Amino acid sequence: MGRITIKRDGLTLVGDREEPFGEIYDMAILMHGFTANRNTALLRQIADNLRNENVASVRFDFNGHGDSDGAIEDMTVPNEIEDAKAVLSYVRTDPHVRNIFLVGHSQGGVVASMLAGLYPDIIKKVTLMAPAASLKDDALKGSTEGADYDPNHIPTVIPVNGKKIGGFYIRTAQILPIYDISRRFNKEVLIITGSNDQVVDPKYSKKYDEIYDNSKLDIIKNADHSFTGKYKNIAAKTVSDFLKPLF
């Protein structure tokens, strides 16, 4: 495993790269969720599983998260898409990489789905794990992760889970064309959600499954939003089985 840094508009994004054997291999870009970081138990397990299947991975911290530059109150879904685009550009310049996959959890799932919709000719497969398309509806109704506000008069800063989210995050979330962009991706998509997800209603995963031409929805019975406990290994294996090479 090696640490990597990628520049994006003056910010340094920090990530970890897992190397498999061989000269040519597939590469997955792993994206964490809202206020999380690249070292969640789930993403680490997925990276380990993929390496065992000879698939490389890069997992990185979005701006304002983990070891990456920036303030969390400046973070928006659009600039997380910019972060992911910078990582994609890094992966695309690697002569060893054959196919490129995207894996996103929660808000990272929204970013992955939209990036794939913007690069349907470049991305080979997409995995969405409890994708938080609910963030748009939450912003429109004025309630994000338990923090309430007036959706028509959004404050400059909103305290959420002990952190401060910028009002611009909410303003952009209200108008995000999540499904419109995501549906432009017409290759294989795996959507994984837990039946006991208390953060993002599984109906948002079902909606993703409806808009795609070539998707599979896997609902893990009793799993929560973060696939904690025994569900971590189940979810990670589902991802690695989907992305492992066919030969």
What pLDDT, on the 0 to 100 scale, is given for residue 188?
98
Kindly tell me the sign of the dihedral angle through the C-alpha atoms of 182, 186, 187, 188.
positive
Domains detected in the chain:
13-243 (3.40.50.1820)
Tokens describing residue 125: 């497969």
Low-confidence ranges of the chain (pLDDT < 50): none
> Quick one: pLDDT at residue 246?
77
**What confidence tens digit (pLDDT) does each residue in 68-104 have?**
999 999 999 999 999 999 999 999 999 999 999 999 9
pLDDT at 247: 64
Q: What is the pLDDT of residues 10-21, one digit of tens each?
A: 999 999 999 998
pLDDT at 1: 78
Buried b (16+ CB within 10 A) or exposed e, 199-222: ebbbebbebbbebbeebebbebee
Distance CA 120, CA 1 (A): 29
Task: Give the C-alpha separation, 135 to 202, whole Å.
Answer: 13
Looking at residue 5, its pLDDT comes to 98
Return the pLDDT at 161. Answer: 87
Question: For position 109, what pLDDT does the model report?
Answer: 98
> Percent helix, strand and coil across the chain, each rounded to 5?
35, 25, 40
